[in-house]
Amino acid sequence: MKYRTLLYLAALLLSLPITAATQPASAAPTLPPALTKRLAPPPVLQEKTDLPCLRCDGSGHIHRLASQDLKRVGRRERESTHRITKRRLLSTCPVCNGAGHCVRAYTNSEKLPAIKLMRHAYDEAQLKAGRIPVGAAYADRSAMETLSPEDQARLAHQYPKICTTCFGLGKICCRRCDGLGFKPGEVDRETGIKEPNEPCSTCKTLGETVCKRCDGSGLARICSSCDGTGLRQKRDRNAPSGYKTVLCTSCDGAGRR
């Protein structure tokens, strides 16, 4: 009996992927290919790009202590770091090799300003081209006029509106530690010794906090007028049922606002 039970369970597990793969794909309607080509998708922030070097702050040079000066100073002066820091020389940054910039990831404090500039430049370029917003993307006005309200709402749901606070990130830079994840320790003026860093109690050393406006989803709030569908019913005497489907005027068919 145990052997038969194991065979039955094995056959059942093997049949699960097959039944999932044989489900009809017509549940998700496809969009017209001529319209998807005209659709301008929103920009996406790259993980790594060419940015100013963090080691040298974009100057290409860093300060180093002169070896001759270190030999000349005495033991008491070596313990006092604030006296030695005045004797420094410029050297090439080992991270960027003097270029001042390198390929790296965005820091927590750089993500939101970068995506804001990218999004504003994208919006200005699309509006100058005469396109209209469709969710978070843009499309030609003439192409949208030929579609039914249902197709316009489906097209807007493909690129839903993003949150205006975090711009789709779902997280924002911690204001308490400025994205560092810790509070830098202060330097004692008398001894020059720096105190240890204190972990940030707000972000738990992550440097980011969840956006309160979208609860971390990165999307705009669901429209309360249409319950997120982007459509509503309007009375029409010429329609057989007495109503016709139109776009929601509160969210312009996007389902979010």
pLDDT of residue 30: 59
As a whole number of angstroms, the distance between CA 190 and CA 193 comes to 8
Q: Which pLDDT tens digit goes with each residue over 167-185? A: 999 999 999 998 989 888 8
Number of C-beta neighbours around residue 106 at 10 A: 17
Number of C-beta neighbours around residue 153 at 10 A: 25
Token couple for 247 = 């776009």
**What's the mean pLDDT in 92-114?**
90
Number of C-beta neighbours around residue 217 at 10 A: 16
Confidence of residue 26 (pLDDT cuts 50, 70, 90): very low
Residue 180 CA: distances (Å) to CA of 12, 57, 62, 82:
51, 16, 21, 25
Residues 6+ apart with CB under 8 A from 60: 53, 92, 93, 96, 98, 99, 100
Q: Which pLDDT tens digit goes with each residue over 72-92? A: 444 444 444 444 444 456 788
Asked if the model's pLDDT at residue 126 lies above 60, the reply is: yes
Confidence of residue 192 (pLDDT cuts 50, 70, 90): low
Residues 6+ apart with CB under 8 A from 255: 153, 156, 157, 160, 222, 223, 226, 228, 229, 230, 248
Q: What is the pTM of this model?
A: 0.70
Asked if the model's pLDDT at residue 8 lies above 50, the reply is: no
φ, ψ (nearest 5 deg) of residue 88:
-130, 155
**What's the mean pLDDT in 176-202?**
83
Residue 77 CA: distances (Å) to CA of 87, 90, 100, 187, 194:
12, 22, 33, 17, 16
The answer for 252, left when phi > 0, alpha when psi is -120 to 50, beta otherwise, is: left
Asked if the model's pLDDT at residue 10 lies above 80, the reply is: no
Asked if the model's pLDDT at residue 140 lies above 80, the reply is: yes
